[in-house]
Amino acid sequence: MSYEDKSLKCTDCGTAFTFTAGEQEFFATKGYTNEPKRCPSCRKNRHQQNRSSSYGSPRSYTTR
């Protein structure tokens, strides 16, 4: 299976970022099937925020 660079849009800030072939391969080796939803800088920001908060993602609360 071969990978190609892919252009994705960050769900947080709307910035277009590249999901590179190398990253896709890395994701696959980790068993991740989902594409990243956020650009690298938002991911970094979230990671830093998570360190000061023990709450999970708000998305885990689903009404209904």
User: Mask 6-35, x = binds Zn ion (CB under 5 A)?
Assistant: ----x-xx-x--------------------
- DSSP-based three-state secondary structure for 7: strand
49 DSSP 8-state letter: H
The secondary structure of 11-43 as a DSSP string is: TTT--EEEE-HHHHHHHHHHT--SPP-S-HHHH
Q: Minimum distance between the CB of residue 16 and Zn ion, rounded to whole angstroms?
A: 10
- Shortest reach from residue 44's CB to Zn ion, in Å: 10
Size of the site for Zn ion (CB under 5 A): 6
Chain residues binding Zn ion by CB under 5 A are 10, 12-13, 15, 39, 42
